[in-house]
Structure 1
């Protein structure tokens, strides 16, 4: 019987089929390994607000007012009945207690007054109970310190002024000149020095109203207008 050439079907040897199958399996396995070794997708960057660890009582301190004094920044911070004064810059970083905040003095954006000089001063003040209370930072020789003497002005004014013209600002406090337990409009200015042997430079004469004080509203009497307080 004759067999036509077109009807003959040839099959590859079994060994060839095994080799081909192994090649396919190796290729698939290689693809799986390559996928598993891919570097992970980069995580999206996380951002958050910066946190200041400085506490004022049980809450974070909040900045109320700031002033530049030469190469330093002086900042007043308050919280829950507690205050801080922070200095940073060329003189280093320092934190001072703000004692007038504990006494209930209202600290506002107008509570800080600074003068930059060889001896620099910063006065922090606030009103409470009809008075103005204040405390002072002094920078001498590149270092800040807090003056131990607190200042009280019963007449509603507390400020800085170089009264004796020595290049260092003095503290000027306006006081009432009224009988005990009686309110009145009579006022006088009391001046305190930050340097030298004499802490109290003196007081002005009593005037009928505060606008008659020397230099009002920035009270700065001349040395000749001062006399011993209580005289």
Structure 2
């Protein structure tokens, strides 16, 4: 069962979720001014921003910005005067961003994922384009097995979130949970559960690991559902 593991996950990412809520109630990121030009240059932590990864989605160039140590993450959408910048929820959570931290998918709803190592696993935030603007899709995801990816699992033209998790049993110690079998939990971009794979002995048995690729035929009811 995943009940115990999920409770632990909620505690683990609590500080990051708090950061999301604070960001949503403040002027985080770069606020646009009339004409679409950003009001200030983005800053990453205590230093200037450098683009460490780029992709395209929804007709926009997407760049992941960070300081020299991979901290202070920002995501820039578009170029020039029309560009907008969003601070990631991972900022301030000791997540070190790299060139592998950004993934984007085109589709009915253009989607990007910012991810990085956190607390012996991986944490990630999903950003989506609705209308002409980009926004966070909600609370971050945490994978204690170390993989969060985007893939059009349902074949509906929109990426889903694949979150690989340890299938820990109630009462398992941290050491025991680290050796538990794994499964991939699939959620839509709004966080609604769509199903899970069967359990596997090791993460490497999941097709495409670590860039896990699934189809709807791989899914079944999740444990405890």
Identify whether the pair has TM-score above 0.5, normalized to the shorter chain.
yes
Q: Report the secondary structure of 1:211's partner residue.
A: helix
Please give the per-residue CA displacement for 1:15-74, whole angstroms capped at 9, x wherever unaligned. Answer: xxxxxxxxxxxxxxxxxxxxxxxxxxxxxxxxxxxxx83212332122211112253111
Q: Which structure 2 segments of 5+ residues have no match?
A: 1-39
When normalised by structure 1's length, the TM-score is 0.69
Aligned residues: 178
Q: Distance in 1 between matches of 2:221 and 2:50?
A: 42
Alignment of 1:219 onto 2:212: yes
1:72 alignment counterpart: 60
Q: Which has the higher contact order (CA 8 A, sep 6+)?
A: 2
1:109 alignment counterpart: 99
1:53 alignment counterpart: 41
2:174 alignment counterpart: 181
Report the CA distance shift for 1:194/1:210 in structure 2 as closer, same or farther (over 3 A): same
Q: Which structure 1 segments of 5+ residues have no match?
A: 1-51
Q: Distance in 1 between matches of 2:215 and 2:222?
A: 15
Alignment of 1:201 onto 2:191: no
Q: Which among 187, 194, 201 is matched to residue 192 of structure 1?
A: 187
Q: Distance in 2 between matches of 1:89 and 1:82?
A: 20
2:153 alignment counterpart: 163
Give the conservation status (yes or no) of the 8 Å contact 1:175–1:187: yes
Q: Determine which structure has more spread, i.e. the larger CA radius of gyration.
A: 1
Q: Report the secondary structure of 2:174's partner residue.
A: coil
Deviation at 1:157, TM superposition (A): 1.0
1:130 alignment counterpart: 120
Give the conservation status (yes or no) of the 8 Å contact 1:171–1:192: yes
